[in-house]
A and B are shown apart, each in its own frame.
Chain A
Amino acid sequence: DTEVTQTPKHLVMGMTNKKSLKCEQHMGHRAMYWYKQKAKKPPELMFVYSYEKLSINESVPSRFSPECPNSSLLNLHLHALQPEDSALYLCASSPISRTDYGYTFGSGTRLTVV
């Protein structure tokens, strides 16, 4: 299995809602990432998990809360989001948390905040 699976593919949520994005990989990768991508822009790094521990938080607002329950799963919990948080949220993984490995990206969750 050489895929990263993200659910849901699309999500519409109100500013008072709480929702979660899920990401799963079964490649034995020990590093997992969350990126945010706005239209016509490059992916922007949000969080890095290495061996299930948070190693990088790119000064992301606390309304985004990541969680790594085990080496295969990565969640992003969303609460009290703003319309400007609407974007494509991409999960990625790599063998370890080093930038000399190519990242495998999931197909993303397209989030709309209303």
Chain B
Amino acid sequence: GQQVMQIPQYQHVQEGEDFTTYCNSSTTLSNIQWYKQRPGGHPVFLIQLVKSGEVKKQKRLTFQFGEAKKNSSLHITATQTTDVGTYFCAGPRQGGKLIFGQGTELSVKP
């Protein structure tokens, strides 16, 4: 079925190191969204990318949408302990459904 694949599943970094998570789709996406879920919390919307090749920044977070609109990435520069959580990409599927990738769980060692 239509899926959004996300890697890696887990990432453990030292505070100050960079972090990247990747999202891939077998079909072209009209847009892609990113969410963050803190441990014990709920998903929080971060951003949406719509245009081919789009790059958006939020402070230390950089989001990219691939030229073919089939992949996306989230890069965090100089991670902090407040970045801990699971990062999900989510893409639209037929019928108006928003489907989440498997998520990347980020842990940051102080």
Contact = CB atoms under 8 A, between A and B. Distances in A.
Nearest to B102: A42
B66 interface: no
Interface SS of chain B: strand
Contact of A43 (B43, B44, B95): B43
A105 B48 CA distance: 15
Interface string B54-89: 000000000000000000000000000000000010
Nearest to B50: A100
B33 interface: yes
A90 B97 contact: no
Given A43-B100, A55-B96, A97-B96, A102 B88 contact: no
Interface in A1-60: 40-45, 48, 55-56, 58
Chain B: interface size category:
20 to 34
Interface string A65-77: 0000000000000
Contacts of B95: 56
Given A42-B88, A56-B95, A105 B100 contact: no
A103 interface: yes
B108 interface: no
A97 B95 CA distance: 10
B42 A45 contact: no
A42 B103 contact: yes
A42 B42 CA distance: 11
A103 to B, nearest CB: 6
Nearest first, the 8 closest Cβ-Cβ pairs linking A and B are A99-B92, A102-B45, A42-B100, A105-B42, A99-B98, A105-B43, A107-B42, A108-B42
Interface of B: 30-31, 33, 41-45, 47-48, 50, 88, 91-93, 95-103, 105
Interface of A: 40-45, 48, 55-56, 58, 88, 90, 92, 97-108
9 contacts: A90-B43, A99-B31, A99-B91, A99-B96, A100-B92, A101-B48, A102-B47, A103-B33, A107-B42
